[in-house]
Amino acid sequence: MIVRSKAPLRIGLAGGGSDVTPYSDMYGGAILNATINMYAYATIVPRDDGKIILNSVDNGEKYEFPAVESLEIDENLILLKGIYNRVVSEFTRHPLSFELSTYVDAPPGSGLGTSSTLVVAILGAFAEWLNLPLGEYDLARMAYEIERVDLQMAGGKQDQYAATFGGVNFMEFFADEKVIVNPLRIRYRYLNELAHNLILYYTKTSRLSSNIIEQQRENVLKNDATSVEATHKIKEQAVMMKEAILKGELDKIGEILNFGWENKKLMAQGISNPLIDSIYEAAILNGALGGKISGAGGGGFMIFYCPNNARYKVVKALAEFGGIPHRYEFTNTGLTSWSI
């Protein structure tokens, strides 16, 4: 028996940061994101020899352990260990013997939600194998708890829900920890045009998002007026983006992205840097109407809205910075699992 799963990575279009505690607990948050055809994959092969093998194929890390009820959480493959520990403690109550292999189409720290998407994919594989009673909201919530509570990893709430549900979603985050995922019914011609006009550009840099997120959290806790007001604007941006996409007013998207980018940079230090600023300026000078860093900031992927055929001139201009434009398509399918 082989159990497999995959979950899509996402592009954050608007509202990023308003889903992070304590802001979302105090004021509520709103996010608009869209999943793309880049994935996190997980494969589980059950074993009968009392061993656990964890294999991160893309990172070249592989470890073997005796099958115990709880794996020690150290610096090696902590996500995989944390998921296993949660599954055993909450569901099986006894050790499992298996080999778990994982792969992600984007590197860590790239801003596409790789870590959270990987957690969702692995949980999906365990749910398929063990027939766990997890609906979409249950699974996304558990993925969030494993990262943010069990493993104490800094971050927001959107990525787990995007990977689980898939598609273009307007997400609302409430003070009582409730999350509502609102799938948007967007005309295909609008969605295809958005994919054509929106460049996904990898800067070939990565960042430790936890540092930026921790500073953002501290700014909210100490009621830093500039940071809190900027996050309010970011939340408004999500509503603006939703209306523009649903109405097909796509050329407003560049302006909305730029509005969000100017405010996002005020939320915490390190969100931008001289390289990112230079890339952004070059994109605007060559026809982009707006853009942003994907994820918490500091590196990884950027997106730029380029109307008509401006994308070709922008891509050419960005070549001097050594990054890579990625072709992609939006996907409306979230977590998928199967066994053979």
Tens of pLDDT, residues 3-32: 999 999 999 999 999 999 999 999 999 999
Residue 99 lies in a domain: yes
Nearest to 32 by CA among 238, 260, 198: 238
| 159: enclosing H helix or E strand | helix 158-165
Q: Which residue has the higher pLDDT, 294 or 282?
A: 282
pLDDT at 175: 85
Which phi and psi (to 5°) does residue 123 adopt?
Answer: -60, -40
CA distances to 19, 22, 247 from 175, in Å: 10, 9, 30
Whether the model clears a pTM of 0.85, i.e. scores above it, the answer is yes
Q: 149 and 203, same structural domain? A: no
- Residue with tokens 């352990």, as numbered in its chain: 65
Task: Confirm if 191 and 178 have CB atoms less than 8 A apart.
Answer: no
Q: 74 an active-site residue?
A: no
Residue 28 lies in a domain: yes
For residue 171, what are the β-bridge partners?
31, 181
Number of domains forming the structure of the chain: 2
Q: 205 and 146, same structural domain? A: no
Q: 170 and 268, same structural domain? A: no
Q: Is 55 helix (H, G, I), strand (E, B) or coil?
A: strand
Q: 93 and 233, same structural domain? A: no
Residue 284 lies in a domain: yes
Q: 271 and 198, same structural domain? A: yes
The residue among 185, 209, 233 that closes a domain is 185
Q: 49 and 80, same structural domain? A: yes
Q: Which residues contact 87 (CB under 8 A, 6 or more apart)?
A: 96, 123, 126, 130, 132
Q: What is the CATH number of the domain that holds 244?
A: 3.30.70.890
- Residue with tokens 């998407």, as numbered in its chain: 117
Q: Which residues contact 172 (CB under 8 A, 6 or more apart)?
A: 28, 29, 30, 179, 180, 182
| From 159, 176, 224, 251, the catalytic residue | 159
User: What single string gives the DSSP state of each residue in 60-122?
Assistant: TEEEEEE--SS----SSSHHHHHHHHHHIIIII-S---EEEEEEESS-TTSSS-HHHHHHHHH
pLDDT at 207: 64
| Statement: residue 279 has pLDDT above 80 | yes
pLDDT at 208: 63
Q: Which domain, by its residues, includes 228? A: 188-326
Nearest to 120 by CA among 79, 172, 174, 153: 79
| Statement: residue 99 has pLDDT above 80 | yes
Beta strand 168-173 with 98-104 is unpaired
Per this entry, what is the length of the chain?
A: 340
Residue 335 lies in a domain: no
Mean pLDDT, range 100-106, rounded to an integer: 97
Q: 171 and 248, same structural domain? A: no
Which residue intervals of 174-271 are DSSP H helices? 188-197, 209-221, 225-247, 252-264
| Statement: residue 138 has pLDDT above 80 | yes
Q: 207 and 161, same structural domain? A: no
Q: What is the CATH number of the domain that holds 115?
A: 3.30.230.10
Residue 33 lies in a domain: yes
Q: 141 and 241, same structural domain? A: no
d(CA 250, CA 263): 21
Task: Confirm if 173 and 166 have CB atoms less than 8 A apart.
Answer: no
Beta strand 98-104 with 29-46 is antiparallel
Q: 317 and 207, same structural domain? A: yes
For residue 263, what are the β-bridge partners?
none
Residue 281 lies in a domain: yes
Q: 172 and 217, same structural domain? A: no
pLDDT at 128: 98
Residue 109 lies in a domain: yes
| % the chain with pLDDT above 90 | 87
Mean pLDDT, range 176-203, rounded to an integer: 95
Q: 229 and 141, same structural domain? A: no
Residue 11 lies in a domain: yes
Q: Is 308 left (phi over 0), alpha (psi -120 to 50) or beta?
A: left
